[in-house]
C-alpha cells in the first residue's frame, strides 16, 4: 500500500524536498508514474522492483531519478518496502553536481555517485520498520550530501519554476528571463542543466497535471470543459497531450483507473 506524506520535513531540507512517500510492502503493487515535474530519491528494501516501460529495467536498492516524461509503472512486490523523497524540479544539479538532463526518463544508482557522503544509510534504514525512523535516516543522508556538495537551490530557477506552475501554459518565458536579467539562450541552457527539460516542456507538464487532477476529481461535464479550462486549444490538443504523458486517452484512463493506485504526495509546487 502507498501511504501519503505524514512525515515532518526538517527545515534544512525544505528548500529541496517537496514531499515524502512510502510503500509498506503489505501486498504486490503496481504504481503508474506520470510526468509531474518532480525528480526524486528512492530506497527499496530489496532490488526486485521493476520499472515497466519501453525498456523494463531492474532498479537498485537506492537511486535518484530525473524528470519523467514517458509513462512508467513501478512494480513493487510484496515484502518490498520502498521509501521515497520527492524533490523540487530545480534542485538536482545543486545536490548531485551533474547535469539534470543526463537522467531525464532515467535513474542512477546512488552507490555509483562520485560525490556522495561517507555514510551508507542502507543498514540503518532497514533495521526498523518504522517509517518515522526510516525517514530520519534518509534525512541525515540527504543533509550530509547537501553539506558535502555545498548545495543551495538556484533562486532564479526557483522563481522560474514557481511561475511556470502558477501560470501553466499561459506563462510568459520572455518575462521570466527578463526578470532574471539573463538572455533567453542562457535561461534555456541553465534551466535544462538544473531541471533536466526545457521550460516549455515543464509548462506542458504543469498544464497536463492540472487537467489530470480535474479528470480524476470528476469536475467536468465534457472533456472539452477540461481542455478549455486548462488552456488547450481544443479537445483534440488535450487528448494528444494526455496520450503523450499517460500512454492512453482520457476515456481509456477513466475506464482503467482504480482508486488509490498512484503514489501520493501531499505537498504542492
Per-residue pLDDT of the chain (269 residues; tens, 9 = 90+): 455 557 899 999 999 999 999 888 777 777 788 999 999 999 988 655 445 445 555 678 899 999 999 998 877 777 788 899 999 999 999 999 999 999 999 999 998 888 788 888 888 888 888 889 999 999 999 999 999 999 999 999 999 999 999 875 568 899 999 999 999 999 999 999 999 999 999 999 999 999 999 999 888 888 999 999 999 999 999 999 999 999 999 999 988 875 544 544 433 33
**Strand 82-87, strand 40-44: pairing:** antiparallel
Q: In this predicted structure, what is the pLDDT of residue 269? A: 37
Strand-pair partners of 63: 42, 109
Q: In this predicted structure, what is the pLDDT of residue 258? A: 57
Strand-pair partners of 145: none
Residue spans per domain, the chain: 2-148, 154-258
**Residue holding cell 516501460?**
53
**Residue holding cell 530545480?**
90
The alpha helices in the chain, defined as continuous H runs, are 92-96, 122-126, 131-148, 155-167, 173-179, 184-195, 199-217, 223-229, 235-246, 250-256
Are 149 and 64 in contact by the 8 Å Cβ rule? The answer is no
Tell the CATH superfamily of the 154-258 domain: Homeodomain-like (1.10.10.60)
Show Cβ contacts of residue 88 under 8 Å, excluding neighbours closer than 6 positions. 15, 16, 17, 18, 38, 153, 158, 161, 269
Q: In this predicted structure, what is the pLDDT of residue 168? A: 58
**Residue holding cell 504542492?**
268
% of the chain residues with pLDDT over 90: 61
Neighbours of 258 (CB within 10 A): 5
Are 30 and 257 in contact by the 8 Å Cβ rule? The answer is no
Q: In this predicted structure, what is the pLDDT of residue 169? A: 57
**Residue holding cell 526510516?**
134
Q: In this predicted structure, what is the pLDDT of residue 266? A: 33
Q: In this predicted structure, what is the pLDDT of residue 241? A: 96
Q: In this predicted structure, what is the pLDDT of residue 57? A: 58
User: Is the CATH code 3.40.50 the one for domain 2-148?
Assistant: no
Q: In this predicted structure, what is the pLDDT of residue 4? A: 53
DSSP state at residue 48 = T
Q: In this predicted structure, what is the pLDDT of residue 265? A: 40
Amino acid at each position: 500500500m502507498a501511504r501519503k506524506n505524514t512525515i515532518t520535513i526538517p527545515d534544512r531540507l525544505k528548500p529541496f524536498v517537496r514531499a515524502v512517500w512510502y510503500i509498506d510492502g503489505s501486498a504486490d503493487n503496481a504504481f503508474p508514474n506520470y510526468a509531474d515535474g518532480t525528480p526524486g530519491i528512492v530506497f527499496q528494501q530489496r532490488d526486485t522492483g521493476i520499472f515497466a516501460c519501453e525498456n523494463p529495467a531492474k532498479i537498485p536498492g537506492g537511486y535518484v531519478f530525473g524528470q519523467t516524461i514517458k509513462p512508467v509503472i513501478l512494480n513493487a512486490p510484496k515484502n518490498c518496502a520502498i521509501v521515497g523523497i520527492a524533490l523540487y524540479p530545480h534542485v538536482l544539479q545543486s545536490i548531485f553536481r551533474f547535469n539534470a538532463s543526463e537522467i531525464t526518463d532515467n535513474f542512477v544508482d546512488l552507490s555509483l555517485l562520485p560525490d556522495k557522503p561517507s555514510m551508507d544509510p542502507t543498514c540503518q534504514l532497514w533495521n526498523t520498520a518504522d517509517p518515522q525512523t526510516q525517514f530520519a535516516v534518509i534525512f541525515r543522508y540527504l543533509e550530509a550530501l547537501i553539506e558535502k556538495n555545498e548545495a543551495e537551490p538556484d533562486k532564479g530557477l526557483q522563481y522560474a519554476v514557481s511561475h511556470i506552475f502558477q501560470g501553466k501554459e499561459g506563462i510568459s518565458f520572455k518575462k521570466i528571463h527578463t526578470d532574471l536579467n539573463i538572455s533567453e539562450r542562457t535561461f534555456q541552457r541553465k534551466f535544462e542543466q538544473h531541471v533536466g527539460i526545457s521550460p516549455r516542456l515543464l509548462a506542458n507538464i504543469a498544464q497536463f497535471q492540472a487537467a489530470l487532477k480535474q479528470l480524476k476529481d470528476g469536475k467536468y461535464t465534457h472533456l472539452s470543459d477540461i481542455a478549455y479550462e486548462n488552456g488547450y486549444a481544443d479537445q483534440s490538443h488535450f487528448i494528444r497531450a494526455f496520450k503523450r504523458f499517460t500512454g492512453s486517452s482520457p476515456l481509456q484512463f477513466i475506464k482503467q483507473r482504480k482508486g488509490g493506485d498512484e503514489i501520493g504526495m501531499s505537498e504542492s509546487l
